[in-house]
Amino acid sequence: MVSVGRNEWFVFRRYAEFDKLYNALRKQFPSMNLKIPPKRIFGDNFDPEFIKQRRTGLHEFIQRLVSHPELYHHQDVRDFLQMNKTKNISDVSEDEDDKPTDFDFLKVIGKGSFGKVLLAKRKNDGKYYAIKVLQKRVILNRREQKHIMAERNVLLQNVKHPFLVGLHYSFQTADKLYFVLDFVNGGELFFHLQKERTFPEPRAKFYIAEMASALGYLHSLNIVYRDLKPENILLDYEGHIVLTDFGLCKEGISQTDTTSTFCGTPEIPPPFIPNVTSHHDISNFDPEFTDETVPSSVCWSPGHSFVNASVMEADEAFLGFSYAPPSDDSFQ
């Protein structure tokens, strides 16, 4: 884990990548006396004590990089620690009064019990997002507001992990809730499994390892996912998995706790890279969704010509739903 100020995130790198960066920096900054754990030629590389010592040494190396200004701003270090990725950095607008009219809604890319997921472009910066639009009436009729608020709470934790979809904003109008999420456009694992029928064993192992990492992170926060299925596993443009849909998550569950409710519905390169041609490419989504017309009601709310989502709470059932990340220029 990388920690800089109030920001924390995970970076997955193999020892060989650490060694490559270390050797490059050692030549450029010989006076800094940088160190990483030495290579182990003989012995068991899976020995728990050896792994623990190596992890501690690599963590100290990372902290040395981010604490020294000259290293911190070095491009190789920033690339290695993924410091320029928007998911790790709060680079959004300081205006927390987000509203549907801030976005151009382009295509339907998914449907669920409470609403739809749409591809949208933010007008002021041209960035693409997946926006989950939920109908309040349906949620209230099914008494599911606790699940929706739990999903919001879990999404706020996800920005720290690369294999979990991250929340950028959430806001509401009189009749709808909006989750503004990472647009992950490699398609659902279910979609690719339908086309290919089976995956080669190395590819399946790769996906399982990344899923285990994502679930392990949630477990470390005492969160149980409870809805693992191919439809909820997306592929990004590099071929990595991204877990989504956290409506059935259970918070505050320790290793000894149980639940009683019913629930339904690295350095190794990815073995499969989806064909993604641009940031707004939707060719890997099901045509059943993308062929559907974007409903005009997404951008308006009955009875209000203008809705300020952060100020005008529709009713007490969703108090505290609206969210925008704090402004933070620590990486600029």
Are residues 191 and 280 located together in one domain of the fold?
yes
Are residues 22 and 135 located together in one domain of the fold?
no
Per-residue pLDDT at 86: 43
Residues tagged in the binding site annotation: 132
Indicate which residue of 227, 281, 286, 328 is catalytic. Answer: 227
332 located within any domain: no
Helix, strand, or coil (residue 33): coil
Are residues 108 and 194 located together in one domain of the fold?
yes
Are residues 76 and 191 located together in one domain of the fold?
no
Range of the domain at 61: 2-80
CATH number of the structural domain spanning residue 10: 3.30.1520.10
Are residues 67 and 159 located together in one domain of the fold?
no
85 located within any domain: no
Are residues 99 and 171 located together in one domain of the fold?
yes
Per-residue pLDDT at 97: 65
| pTM of the shown model | 0.57
Query: Residues 6 or more apart from 123 whose CB is under 8 A from it?
Result: 102, 103, 104
Nearest partner of 114 among 259, 233, 265, 311, judged by Cα:
265
Helix axes 15-28, 48-67, angle to 10 degrees: 40
227 is catalytic: yes
Q: Is the pLDDT of residue 60 over 50?
A: yes
For 238, the token pair is 């590099």
Are residues 112 and 22 located together in one domain of the fold?
no
Q: Give all strands (DSSP E) within 136-236, no chain letters.
A: 167-172, 176-182, 223-224, 233-235
72 located within any domain: yes
Residues tagged in the binding site annotation for ATP: 132
- The domain boundary residue, chosen from 14, 48, 80: 80
pLDDT tens for 202-230 read: 999 999 999 999 898 888 888 888 788 99
Are residues 98 and 61 located together in one domain of the fold?
no
Per-residue pLDDT at 7: 62
